[in-house]
Structure 1
Amino acid sequence: MDVQRLKQLLSREENEKMDFKAQLKLTTESEKKELVKDVTAIANSRGGRGYIIFGVEDKTKRIIGIEPDDSLEERIQQIIYNRTDPPVPVSLDLVKIKNKTVAVLTIFKSKHAPHQVLQTGAFYVRRGSTTDFARRSELASMMQENGLMTFETVIVKQARLEDLEMDRVDAFFKNINVYTDQFQTILLEAFGFIGQKNEGEFCPTIGGLLLFGKNPQLYLPQCYLKIINGDETDIISGNILSMLDQAVNRVKTIIKDENYPFAAFEEALANALVHRDYMDLSRGVLINITNKAIEIINPGALTQSKKVCLNFRECQPERRNAWLYQRIITIDERRRFIKSGVGMDRIRRSFEGIGEVKFINLGKQNSFKVILPR
């Protein structure tokens, strides 16, 4: 860390990955707890590296400086290591600027979130420039993105096997040359479509309902699709394939243009449905139709590993909901999901002569938006 880099950081405003502190005190227990709280909050927030800069007023950016101490980094490392689980990777640089010393604590991007404060058991995130408790859905999303859980195989205890469309289930097994006459329950459980509630009593999993459910929204109300066209609003429900078919048919009745690239729209929507963040319980996938464009907005910003792939046709980004994706490509007879996740360049080409296609990653809102011109 040199002075030039420090000046670049000082030019930023406080946000999820940037915090300014006038003082650095680690004498009392409360001061140590506050440091750990701030570090875990930044580590758990979306984005790359984060920074806490000590010796700078947060509002004015006036450089106050701190007392340099050669043992400071070791003390901070010990505090973070002993009080966070898993430990947050950090480093400390002391930088001279305007005859004063500023401490820059770098919180490295972590693939092991969520990080917990051991003493209290709490999980924190940053919301803008403030630190807050992480919500349950945020914790679940972090755990899923980092491979700590697979939400699709969680059973839905209120649901029954009768809530599944068994014709679709049978078609799935036939596609992979598996016959279910005598071993249907065993196979359904082995593939993660159902699970045991009690001894000998089975119920569908979240993944089973999303793939084969007659009306998954009875148990998973966030899994809907909304179409807004001016003053008209349509709410579409059903399993993923059913919602995709219904939505495409509805949009075709709204945009009465045989030359419109509906196949590209369908591909973008398939992406949204299979790769959305199903741990976000507050909203479904939205299609907003205006005179100039069709916007597809789904919960679930791209993870950091995906951001670098946005403009490269050949890249193979990490997939959110890999379990779901692996099964839906077998279920869908029209093979629409085979291209899912790697077709950005293809979608752009489909709209040549119509207008520019835009892909917008909204990390702070945990959303991803595709804008298709009309």
Structure 2
Amino acid sequence: MVSSINLLFAQLLKTIELRKGEFKERKYRLDNDVLKSHFVKDILCMANAPGEDGYILLGVREKPREVVGISTHHDSAMLAGIVAGVIEEPIHFEYFPITHKVKRCVLLRIPSSCARPHWPKRDFGILREHVLYTCRASGNVEASISEIREMFLSTIRVSDVARRRATLTPHVVDEVESFDLGKWTQVMYDMLRSIVAKLTLAKYSLVSSEVIDMATKTFALVTSTGTESTRVCYLHVSVDSAKRRCNVVSLLCEKYY
């Protein structure tokens, strides 16, 4: 019986334009940090890029498209360890060793991360500490300011929160009223200490101002029908956010709602 992964591999082989995909004739060489960093960069860029899952097919020549196979497989746990040792926040990817027409190949699947953006936490080979990378049709590149903004905003899922708040239930109102402002302030302090150090002030200010604006619009859905204490709490949160120029991803994440 042909597995679903084999079927996916065969389908990807036939895909003429794979927006988030790479074909590599040979497996990754991991003899030193520079070679390892090329592997990490491929994983990092696909995880940071929006849209569908990314794929890397090892043992496939790109032009002309042909399965050539590889001699041996990598140790998937070792690959995961290399990525975890370099990248801030875990990146999930899957490593599937397969056989296609008697030739040994590999399919790597890298979902677009819900925790993006990810960045190198230290200089490593060709990767620079705290630089944000992504993939485009032209290849793997440093992210532009607009791409960085999109990465941050995508993690907040403001539209999901807004839909839930549009039809308020007693459960939601109770959770809003019990929101711990002191805890939120500590979260914001920790986040500022870690994130501001990783991005230039200009880029961070641009991202945070967008987030604050979107979050403030979302607050209105609750505060228009909330109690006086709820309105005061949200006013304090909103003002505090604006003063600090920090984003409010922690306030809107699932652990509070």
Q: Could you state the TM-score of these two structures normalised by the residue count of structure 2?
A: 0.56
Deviation at 1:325, TM superposition (A): 4.0
Contact 1:57 1:63 in 2 (8 A): yes
Unpaired segments ≥5 residues, structure 2: 159-205, 208-212, 225-257
1:97 pairs with 2:106: no
Determine the structure 1 residue equivalent to 2:139. 130
Q: SS where residue 323 of structure 1 aligns?
A: helix
Alignment deviations for residues 21-46 of structure 1 (CA, whole Å, 9 cap, x no partner): 11112223222111111111111111
Determine the structure 1 residue equivalent to 2:91. 88
CA distance in 2, matches of 1:38, 1:13: 20
Select the structure of larger CA radius of gyration: 1
Contact 1:14 1:20 in 2 (8 A): no
1:27 pairs with 2:36: no
Q: 1:128 corresponds to which letter in structure 2? A: A
Deviation at 1:330, TM superposition (A): 8.1
Determine the structure 1 residue equivalent to 2:71. 67
Contact 2:117 2:151 in 1 (8 A): yes
Contact 1:66 1:100 in 2 (8 A): yes
**Shift >3 Å, 4+ stretches:** 13-16, 325-331
Q: Percent of counterpart pairs with the same letter?
A: 25
Deviation at 1:148, TM superposition (A): 10
Alignment deviations for residues 60-102 of structure 1 (CA, whole Å, 9 cap, x no partner): 2211211223x52112111111111112101100110122111
1:43 pairs with 2:47: yes
Q: 2:217 corresponds to which letter in structure 1? A: L
Deviation at 1:143, TM superposition (A): 1.3
Contact 1:124 1:131 in 2 (8 A): yes
* Residues 147 and 2 of structure 1: CA distance in aligned 2, closer, same or farther (over 3 Å): closer
Deviation at 1:104, TM superposition (A): 0.8
Q: 2:62 corresponds to which letter in structure 1? A: D
Contact 1:94 1:103 in 2 (8 A): yes
Aligned pair partner of 1:111 in 109, 114, 135: 114
Contact 2:46 2:135 in 1 (8 A): yes
Q: SS where residue 60 of structure 2 aligns?
A: coil
Matches within 5 A, 1:347-366: none
Q: 1:143 corresponds to which letter in structure 2? A: F
CA distance in 2, matches of 1:79, 1:329: 44
* Residues 329 and 2 of structure 1: CA distance in aligned 2, closer, same or farther (over 3 Å): closer
Q: SS where residue 113 of structure 1 aligns?
A: coil
Determine the structure 1 residue equivalent to 2:12. 9
1:146 pairs with 2:155: yes
1:321 pairs with 2:206: no
CA distance in 1, matches of 2:223, 2:85: 47
CA distance in 2, matches of 1:7, 1:68: 20
Q: 1:324 corresponds to which letter in structure 2? A: K
Higher helix fraction: Structure 1 or Structure 2? Answer: 2
Give the superposed CA RMSD. 2.9
Contact 1:43 1:109 in 2 (8 A): yes
Q: SS where residue 80 of structure 2 aligns?
A: helix
Contact 1:36 1:117 in 2 (8 A): no
Q: How many residues align?
A: 163
Q: SS where residue 104 of structure 1 aligns?
A: strand
Contact 2:49 2:112 in 1 (8 A): no
Unpaired segments ≥5 residues, structure 1: 150-277, 280-319, 332-374
Deviation at 1:50, TM superposition (A): 1.1
Contact 1:55 1:63 in 2 (8 A): yes
Q: SS where residue 156 of structure 2 aligns?
A: coil
Q: SS where residue 30 of structure 1 aligns?
A: helix
CA distance in 1, matches of 2:150, 2:18: 21
Q: SS where residue 132 of structure 1 aligns?
A: strand
CA distance in 2, matches of 1:17, 1:92: 16
